[in-house]
Every structure is written in structure tokens, then in C-alpha cells.
Amino acid sequence: MPLLDFDALARHLPGPWASTVLGQVGPARIKVLRMDAQAYPQETHDYNEGLLVISGCLRLDIGGAVVEVGPGNLYLVPAGQAHGVLAGSHGTLVIVDV
């Protein structure tokens, strides 16, 4: 599957916020998910996480600050940084992590 249509793949997932691993580049996994308007609870990882918005808008809570990530933009969450998704986020999100 060398050519990936992230929006089409996200539409066929069983539900929102259910990511699936599409492939791997070195140690990094490439995942896709479909966002709905619901919030997603805060989480923290021991690795950096790249959040790339393909379509729609990702609204993040980063230390109490609201960060809006639009199509074509990537937000790099540093290891150890608590982050949550705010209500109103929607569209297709690609996650790159290890």
C-alpha cells in the first residue's frame, strides 16, 4: 500500500478516535484516525508525538493553552507533555509516534 489516501482510510475506520497503524518508517509508526466533535482526555507519552491534520481542525489543550492545528499543519508534542483534545475537533488526523 505505497499510496495512502488518509481521508478515505479514516472514513472506513469503525469509529472516531480508533486509530489504525498504516505503516512504519524506521522506528516511527504512522497511524490515522477520524476525529469527531467530542473531546478526548489528556494523556502523556514518554516519546515525541507528531499530530498532522489532513482535513478539519484539531483543537489541543497544551498546559491550559488552546492550540488549533489546521489542515497541512503538524503539532509536535514533546515527550512528557500532557495534552488533550478539546470539543469541536473534527476531520482526519495522522499520528506519527514510536
Whole-prediction pTM value?
0.94
Assigned domain for 1 exists: no
Q: How many separate domains does the chain show?
A: 1
DSSP 8-state code for residue 39: -
Write the pLDDT tens digit of every residue in 34-81: 999 999 999 999 999 999 999 999 999 999 999 999 999 999 999 999
Q: How confident is the model at residue 2 (pLDDT cuts 50, 70, 90)?
A: confident
Assigned domain for 71 exists: yes
Assign residue 36 the CATH number of its domain. 2.60.120.10
Q: Rounded to whole angstroms, how far apart are CA atoms 37 and 35?
A: 7
State the residue range of the domain holding 48.
6-97
